[in-house]
Structure 1
Amino acid sequence: MDNERTSARSRQALIRYRNAVLLGCTALVAFTPTIVLGQENATADTTLEPIVIQGSGAGLDTDNDSKSIVATKTTGVGKMPADILETPASVSVITSKEVRERGADSVEQVVQYTAGVVTDYYGSDDRYDYFKIRGFTPFTYRDGLVVGRTWSGIREEPYALERIEVLRGANSTGFGVSDPGGSVNYVTKRPKSERFGEIYGTGGSFNHKEAGFDFGDNITEDDTLSYRLTGKLQRSDAEYDYSQDDENFIMGGLTWRPTAATSLSFVFDHLDKDGTPSGGGHPRGTNLDRDRFFGEPDYNYDTTNRNTYSVMLDHDFGNGLTFNSNARYSKSDTGFGYAYIYDTLGANDPADTVVDRIFFGGKGSNQQFVIDAHLLYEASFDQVESRTLVGIDHNKIKTDNKSYALYPPIWSGTAPGIDWQSPVPSGVPGSIPLVTSRTNDQTTKAVYVQQDLIFFDKLTASVGLRNDWLDLRETNRIAGTTASGDYSELSKRLGLSYKITEELAAYVSYAESVAPPTTGNEPTVGKQYEAGIKYRPDAFPALFTASIYDLTMENITTYEPPTYLPATVDKIRHRGIDLEAKAEVTDNINLIASYSYIDSNIVENGGTYDGKRFAQVPEHLASVWGTYTIEGNGSRGDMTFGVGARYTGSYYFDNANTRKSDGAIVFDAAFTYKIQENTTFQLNASNLFDEKHIANDDGGAYYYNPGRAIYATLRQTW
């Protein structure tokens, strides 16, 4: 299989490389970024010859991601690409092949079959990608550069990505500010030094119509200049009335390779979303169809307009020294407005069929410039190998946000309610008051170092240090006040990994995290202890992982309904187990499976929530996805059948643990038929049996899990 051959070549190249250069005398001699593998010079033990840089980032070859569900290397743990087996951390890679097979069209759907990840806990609220890793909202990164939290963030387009890397656990030394539950790194599609392409069309549930393309080629005959163009156009409704889910996405990239040792890429992408945020929820005490709408048709919008410019430079100096620098500038404008039910009695008051509503909206702009530069030095001496990474990071974000809210009469407001038995739109109120208006300026500067030592090709010792300097400034335009704060935070990571055999490795680690606070508060900090084991058989492409962890998070900001304004919890402790398997068992059988257990505990001595479970954190999670391919025979092409099941255990909707969900199983399915060599027809069904349960009860309304959706895709590749 392609992945098996690729893995073998990677291991052989790594073995040759490990014997190439002498060990650096000190970890600080070499400023070090991303890995670029070099070949051993036949005449000199200390000289490395450069090779052509491949894939998306030096040392990270993503070409095999379109052919296999099993990845062997990752940058999900930090700036230094590493063999997943030898890395002392728990990481999952969702390749583009897996995304395509499952028909995932949002990041939330992409990570649904990943260990430790819970999704769909906000039901029919479609504003963000709602998922948690080990019980906490993750920070996201793109090509190693921080984007922000998924909560309140922009919903990314998965078609722009080669892969998505999910790191479970704390690791601020890797990419920077983050929460301890985990982080997600998006790897952008870049031009390749070959001709390739695809075009597809999709149609299905909710009047869904979609077309996309992704192609590229060399511009010059000597492969020094290549391009790539990726795009997606979507027009669709959502599963509730008065809904919309439209998108325009375009991304273009150029890569210049003046020498075999240097690669410079520029990527521009434009994301334009025009959707609706929610159906307004359903009255508590009812069991109505998902398509029932209790919002306000003329006040129901969710828009995003973002332009992103990225530059990525890789250079191999030879003799084990490589340089990498990524920079990104982005500017986005967002806005939303909707009416949603917030009536604690709902339909449980037979004398009153009118339920209260809140009108809530906001608009904002965001400008970000972030740049990272690092040097990587790799050397070996006798039975010891050394990888030293040193870098700097600068991130500047400026935001301007306003929010508007109108509350019901019971809260001294004038927001019109709606009769849930005979809903009739009331029209948009004449005035929805401005409740917040703030500008925020955040500048983060960081210096980091990571040292890996590998002894006898068995024991890997990894140490990471990073110091972030946070400069925050917030202006409250309503109050006419300005607050500022300066913070200096040091985070550490220690890890040991031991290869028991060439296929089996065990590891232990300690890692810390730090996340930027709101002005005037202390940063959110976390720490985690973890131990695990990984198995990667030589017989077939596969990776089996098991880990046990104990993590804590302090100074946590939570958002409680109905206003979802920030509130602070002293400490949350999560202890758990994650099991995951990804395997191409035979040429025609692929399997993905996971199980997670989380023991959640809020620690507030004498506090309101002391001893309670953290909201939206189920005790048990499990999933399995498998595909079976029947090879073609004569005029009949290959047929691939896929089926999956996702189990989410019960969880509390609030930190007071007064409202709780039921555990539920959701089934997915897929079928692909190869019409001819480069033409396929694909059918995907999510929530195949239309299982329905309450995903969120905020005390004022019910929000159900997404219903059944079926989509058909015709794809042509070359």
Structure 2
Amino acid sequence: MLTPRRLPLAIALLAASATTQAQQNDAAELAPLTVTGQAATKTETPFNETPQAISVVENEEWEERGAETVQRAADYTTGTFTNQIGASNRYDYLVLRGFSDGSVSNTFLDGLKVMGDAGSYSSMTIDPYFLERIEVVKGPASVLYGRASPGGLVGLSSKRPAFQRAGEVRLGIGNNAQRSAAFDLTGPIDDERRVAFRLTGLARAADTQFGPVEEKRYALAPQVSWDISDATSLTLHAYLQKDPEGGYHAGLPYEGSVVDRNGRRIDNTFFEGEDDHDDFERTQRMFGYEFEHRFNDSLTARQRLRYLNSDVDHQQAYATGWASETELSRGYLTAQEDLEAWVVDNQLQADVTTGSIDHRLLLGADYQQRTTLRSESFGGLAPIDAFDPEYGAEPVGVTPFYDAERDLEQTGIYVQDQMQIGNWHLALGGRYDWVDIHNVDTLQGTDERLDDTQFSGRAGILYAFDNGISPFVNYTTSFSPNSVSDENGNILKPTEGEQVETGLKYQPIGSDSHYTLALFDITQENIATRTNPSDPFRAVGETESRGIELEAHTHVTDNLSLKAGYSYTDATYEKSDVADEEGNNVVWAPKHIATLWGNYRFSQGALKGFDAGLGIRHHADIQANRSNTKSVPDYTLVDATLGYDLGGLGLEGVSARLNASNLLDKDYVASCLSETYCYFGAERSVQASVSYDF
């Protein structure tokens, strides 16, 4: 619960500015060819003026591909590995530039952190149907956001109320008993068009490829925007999501899944658990507001606030290795976790000119508080035959293992100056954080506290040539306090990272095509990691990731669009407490990822109204263990789509779409944490949907 001692600081920050972001309804008046890096700078900064690599995925793009999770929406994003846990959709795992430590805890919704940490079951997810865009910021972003992974962050932007009436109703079906229904309604409430609403809802369910395991979700997002005056606006919003069934989330031994065991291979639909003892139910709630006041053309104040709450009930049987020639040993865990959090961000933006230099100054103060209550027990189940399973075993020896409260408070102040001198664009930023972590475990009898302060900085420079070419270079640092303890009960030291990045951006004049080339070198110290669910965490000494990324969004013709990307990531354990790990490549980090997605829209002839898309995703050089003695075979996946606008048949606003992911039904292992836990990739998924826009 939010304790009284924390309330004064939260209230003080709320009152610190009369502030912030409301619905930007005049956004439609902006130049349509401008791609912005808002998550990278917290200001509206054009793509070719932002001295840092970013990737933007628009709503239309992932809906064209039929993506139903944020990680699937990012499938064609450079520097991003989206198959960390294979076919699992429980969390949005995104490994950025080889760093997996922030995969479920480095997501920000409308500029505010979506709570979740390593070792937590309460990491929240946002359904992409409720989003307008996704921005992946490459490299450290702590200077604006505080605790964050050095690999980057994922900035999600919600759909917001519009002052033009519009709506959509969508129905979908697919294999594995997929079924869904969704609606999205928006428009003005009053005649003066000062108040607008948006109501978005979704219900979705499906079986999975793993035995009796299911996925279910219900979500609703009501919002109201009020233009209080021409200079002041306020948006109230909520996001309510319940996942009664959280799908599959487990791994199997390397021998038997990646390679044969005694001439036999485990089927990629094998379920090692027990239907009566496999459950994941998550309920999450978010309430908040965005407020903005423009004092004049050059001075604007903003405030964003959100309250978050999440409840998780979980039980699971999992394989722990081979017990015999055909049988797998099994562990069993049960957990209950409650999370409650507040987060607020205050900003003051000033656009001023001093001599020949134009400044966009951003001053900010943010605060986040999170309390997690968690109880966990471990036991076992009888072994199961991986090739001829029989179910019905009951858990034995279930013993409470963990009963704790974990508290985290972070207060940060930051400043950023984006300067323009002719064609030169210089970005300087600095931030100072105060972090207080307090963990109490009544079962273990431990009471640990960590008080820490941290400075983060960023400096970047870019030259924007008149022909659309923009070379850039930047230096950024990051930190992320660990809220977990080692085997001695001591809270791990905060991880720290730094990046040097250089690259080239190109956006042809008068075109919405854009291209990026980036080279990076990132180092990080003190990464919290563990090999098994019941193991204590430990800190790997130092990890370094070096690589190159190429990304292109282009319209070859008015009808044909292409998105292509290639990532080379050499992520290694530079220092480790395990001797044979040093110098090895990290797991969960393919050295090569290449993607290509193309879509063609027919504008005339018998096929007018149709569009067709085809995509290829290739992953290569994936290590299966830290000693690099085993690897995951390279794999290539094919996706496809076919859409049709029925307006030409007199059904105005009606459209239909057919999507196929892993079209060729490739049977593959997506990645491994170790030789004990490897993860099957998703089998072929086929979906059909029909939408009515009005």
Following the alignment from structure 2 to structure 1, what is the Cα–Cα distance between the partners of residues 29 and 626? 44
Corresponding residue for residue 473 of structure 2: 508
Task: Answer whether contact 1:32 1:322 (CA < 8 A) is retained.
Answer: no
**Is 2:499 the counterpart of 1:528?**
yes
**Is 2:306 the counterpart of 1:341?**
no
**Is 2:220 the counterpart of 1:244?**
no
Match of 1:645 among 616, 629, 638: 616
Equivalent residues, number: 652
Corresponding residue for residue 128 of structure 1: 91
Match of 1:610 among 576, 582, 596: 582
Following the alignment from structure 2 to structure 1, what is the Cα–Cα distance between the partners of residues 211 and 18? 50
Write out per-residue CA displacement over residues 16-67 of structure 1, whole angstroms, 9 at most, x where no aligned residue. Answer: xxxxxxxxxxxxxxx999999xxxxxxxxxxxxxxx9625xxx9x38999xx
Corresponding residue for residue 46 of structure 1: none
User: TM-score scaled by structure 1?
Assistant: 0.87
Write out per-residue CA displacement over residues 456-509 of structure 1, whole angstroms, 9 at most, x where no aligned residue. Answer: 1x0011100011100111101102221111101000000001012241111110
Following the alignment from structure 2 to structure 1, what is the Cα–Cα distance between the partners of residues 308 and 450? 25
Corresponding residue for residue 12 of structure 2: none
Q: CA deviation at 1:226?
A: 0.3
Corresponding residue for residue 597 of structure 1: 568
Q: CA RMSD in A?
A: 2.3
Corresponding residue for residue 164 of structure 1: 134
Q: CA deviation at 1:294?
A: 2.1
Following the alignment from structure 1 to structure 2, what is the Cα–Cα distance between the partners of residues 684 and 434? 45
Following the alignment from structure 1 to structure 2, what is the Cα–Cα distance between the partners of residues 272 and 576? 39
Quickly say closer, same or farther: Cα 1:110–1:485, change in 2 above 3 A: same
Match of 1:89 among 26, 30, 52: 52
> What aligned pairs does 1:574-593 form with structure 2 within 5 A after superposition?
574-593=545-564
Task: Answer whether contact 1:504 1:536 (CA < 8 A) is retained.
Answer: yes
Is the deviation greater in 477-486 or in 640-649? 477-486
Match of 2:298 among 320, 337, 340: 320
AA in 1 matched with 2:275: P
AA in 2 matched with 1:629: R
Task: Answer whether contact 1:375 1:390 (CA < 8 A) is retained.
Answer: yes
AA in 2 matched with 1:290: N
> What aligned pairs does 1:36-75 form with structure 2 within 5 A after superposition?
54-55=24-25, 61=27, 72-75=35-38
Following the alignment from structure 1 to structure 2, what is the Cα–Cα distance between the partners of residues 680 and 333? 38
Following the alignment from structure 1 to structure 2, what is the Cα–Cα distance between the partners of residues 235 and 445? 40
Write out per-residue CA displacement over residues 199-245 of structure 1, whole angstroms, 9 at most, x where no aligned residue. Answer: 10010011011000111110011110000000001122111211111
Task: Answer whether contact 1:569 1:604 (CA < 8 A) is retained.
Answer: yes
Corresponding residue for residue 45 of structure 1: none
**Is 2:624 the counterpart of 1:658?**
no
Corresponding residue for residue 146 of structure 1: 113
Corresponding residue for residue 663 of structure 2: 688
Q: CA deviation at 1:252?
A: 0.4
Following the alignment from structure 2 to structure 1, what is the Cα–Cα distance between the partners of residues 250 and 495? 32
Is the deviation greater in 600-609 or in 352-361? 600-609
Q: CA deviation at 1:289?
A: 3.1
Task: Answer whether contact 2:178 2:207 (CA < 8 A) is retained.
Answer: yes
Match of 1:175 among 131, 145, 153: 145
Is the deviation greater in 507-516 or in 691-700? 691-700
Quickly say closer, same or farther: Cα 1:211–1:605, change in 2 above 3 A: closer
Following the alignment from structure 1 to structure 2, what is the Cα–Cα distance between the partners of residues 649 and 97? 29
**Is 2:600 the counterpart of 1:628?**
yes
Task: Answer whether contact 1:53 1:261 (CA < 8 A) is retained.
Answer: no
Match of 2:531 among 534, 551, 560: 560
Corresponding residue for residue 9 of structure 2: none
**Is 2:340 the counterpart of 1:367?**
yes
> What aligned pairs does 1:283-682 form with structure 2 within 5 A after superposition?
284=256, 285=261, 286-343=264-321, 345=322, 352-380=325-353, 383-407=356-380, 415-429=381-395, 432-456=398-422, 458-518=423-483, 520-561=491-532, 563=534, 565-604=536-575, 607-608=578-579, 609-633=581-605, 637-676=608-647, 677-682=652-657
Following the alignment from structure 2 to structure 1, what is the Cα–Cα distance between the partners of residues 150 and 283? 30
Following the alignment from structure 2 to structure 1, what is the Cα–Cα distance between the partners of residues 351 and 251? 56
Task: Answer whether contact 2:116 2:124 (CA < 8 A) is retained.
Answer: no
User: TM-score scaled by structure 2?
Assistant: 0.90
Q: CA deviation at 1:540?
A: 2.7
5+ residue gaps, structure 1 = 1-30, 37-51, 408-414
Is the deviation greater in 144-153 or in 666-675? 144-153
Task: Answer whether contact 2:662 2:684 (CA < 8 A) is retained.
Answer: yes
Q: CA deviation at 1:174?
A: 2.0
AA in 2 matched with 1:615: V
Write out per-residue CA displacement over residues 298-349 of structure 1, whole angstroms, 9 at most, x where no aligned residue. Answer: 1111111011101001111114000111000011101221112222x47xx5
**Is 2:233 the counterpart of 1:258?**
no
Following the alignment from structure 1 to structure 2, what is the Cα–Cα distance between the partners of residues 515 and 190? 30
Task: Answer whether contact 1:444 1:470 (CA < 8 A) is retained.
Answer: yes
Quickly say closer, same or farther: Cα 1:34–1:508, change in 2 above 3 A: farther
Quickly say closer, same or farther: Cα 1:163–1:220, change in 2 above 3 A: same
AA in 1 matched with 2:394: V
AA in 2 matched with 1:293: F
Corresponding residue for residue 3 of structure 2: none
Following the alignment from structure 2 to structure 1, what is the Cα–Cα distance between the partners of residues 405 and 514? 46
Following the alignment from structure 1 to structure 2, what is the Cα–Cα distance between the partners of residues 606 and 684? 46
AA in 2 matched with 1:145: L
Q: CA deviation at 1:80?
A: 2.1
Q: CA deviation at 1:520?
A: 3.1
- SS of equivalent residue, structure 2 residue 207: coil
AA in 2 matched with 1:713: S
AA in 2 matched with 1:590: S
Task: Answer whether contact 1:230 1:252 (CA < 8 A) is retained.
Answer: yes
- SS of equivalent residue, structure 2 residue 108: strand
Match of 2:61 among 93, 98, 103: 98
Q: CA deviation at 1:616?
A: 1.2
Task: Answer whether contact 2:562 2:598 (CA < 8 A) is retained.
Answer: yes
Task: Answer whether contact 1:591 1:627 (CA < 8 A) is retained.
Answer: yes
Corresponding residue for residue 77 of structure 1: 40
5+ residue gaps, structure 2 = 1-15, 484-489
Quickly say closer, same or farther: Cα 1:63–1:191, change in 2 above 3 A: farther
Q: CA deviation at 1:426?
A: 3.0
Following the alignment from structure 2 to structure 1, what is the Cα–Cα distance between the partners of residues 586 and 340? 33
